[in-house]
Structure 1
Amino acid sequence: MNKQFLLYIVVFTNILLSGCSSRHVPAPVSSLNNNVNDLRGTVNINGGYYKVQKGDTLYSIAFSAGQDFRVLAKNNSIPAPYIIFPGQTISLTAQPVKIKKHKKYTNPSKKSTEKKQKSNKKLKKELDPPKQREYVQKQASNKVSNTKRLSSSKVQWLWPAKGKVTKRFSNKENGYKGLQITNHKGAPVLAAAQGTVVYAGNALRGYGNLIILKHNDDYLSAYAHNSKLLVKEKQKIKAGQKIAEIGNSESSVTALRFEIRYRGKAVNPAKYLP
């Protein structure tokens, strides 16, 4: 009887243990979240650093921070073509420059000072004319480089959509930094100038489905709140090409939010559009 009783206890204990262990089997990932896109974070610039998330580009981070992408790349030692990786930390402020300590200066003797003064006077007489010529040459080369810089900044702009302008650019701190062009859902959104797609997605908070085009090293344009994006990153775009459709993603109004950025700073699009 005792042996039989012990056997019953062992069997009963095993049943209990197997029941408990089955309750702790983790649920499959698919049952927790069927939409992978929900796991993607949003660009939220806070403080002096930003952690790169899937779908980010250096351009989208610079756009959100209101900075020139070249300055951001330089501050973080990121060479062209500006490839970044999820989990990478981007500094949003310039790194402090280390100042080299100079050796203590010791005063030379009187004789050596007099000799140096005499030799310096002779050198000055000999070197003055070349310095003057060099200065004139530098001025001329600066004028040429400035002209090139100005010509490279010129972009032929077109209106990005048809419709009524219901909001205009404001220079105020919390003002609207673009133009709001109202139209029906699905109306075409056109590239305002020739360029390359440097961002296409919905990770920038407050912009919904967004496209950013790079036109040259100085100018970017942005097209926000679209219902559909019709282009991909790195795609070359012609001026007037249909790139999206008007929508109301992250907006209470069905309209296009259009922005122009010059070296990272928002400028009034009305001054550029025909």
Structure 2
Amino acid sequence: MFYKKVAVCLALGSVLLFNSLFALPAQGAVIDDLRQVAAAAAPETYQELAARLNSYTRIYRVEEGDTFEGIARRYQTEPELLAAMNYMEPEATLEPGQFLVLPYERERLYTVAAGDTLWAIARRFGTSVEDLAASNGIVDAKRLRPGTVLTVPAAGSVVTTTRPASRSLNPVSLFWPLFGSITSGFGWRDNEFHHGLDIAGRVGDYIRAAWSGIVTFSGWGNGIYGNMVKIDHGNGLETVYAHNSRNLVKSGEYVRAGEVIAEVGATGNATGPHLHFEVREKGRAVNPEGFLK
């Protein structure tokens, strides 16, 4: 009887040690080691996921607040496709710790042609400008020469060689959040001071993060700004996106440069659909044109 108790204790200790060695990360992430899934999932769930894992799929662990739309945006795919791959509806509620199958593409090579821009290439391959620049060591996007062979990172891959935007860098560090004509610039406008740029757009046009950072606010600002998003880029630099018809990110979420964060609208005090874009240094509004490419 004594030896049986010892055997049981040793078995339990082995399980606990296995779980501690291969414990799942606290936040949602792509999982490459299936031992992490085996330590947390029921045997039938593990077998089903393992059978579906191949060179075109990956496993993702859901974190608090995840939705199909948010995950699809982060990994640059469609929420309907993601839901269908997991036999669910796009509006379904996801539970923290739940495992999903993600579509996955390996990196590709692309030869730059005349007239190509980093932004256009990133859009063509469904990746972010920041990831494309970091994967190829590009510091100045204006020096993209025809004939250069670029490595296009896989959709949803994580690039760690990012740089914070700040005035100490090249002043043209930020990307345009929306392509359109500037209908109102920075400075005095009649008897009031305009603290940003108004960029014309159509309702529903995508608004993109000018650089990577943490969303510090996403919601109704006030009767002037309407729906707005604020992103903290570090070093006292912040960008503001206002009059949105719909915000697509939440406070506390990390976004990458070029990632879609909202849709153009005319909420708040706006005469028509456009983006009001601000750049703030240590809380003070500065002219965005000094930071934009």
Please give the range of the TM-score, normalised by the shorter of the 2 chains.
0.3 to 0.5
TM-score normalized with structure 2 length: 0.40
Bigger relative contact order, structure 1 or 2 (CA pairs below 8 A, ≥6 apart): 1
Where is the strand percentage greater, Structure 1 or Structure 2?
Answer: 2
TM-score normalized with structure 1 length: 0.43
Where is the helix percentage greater, Structure 1 or Structure 2?
Answer: 1
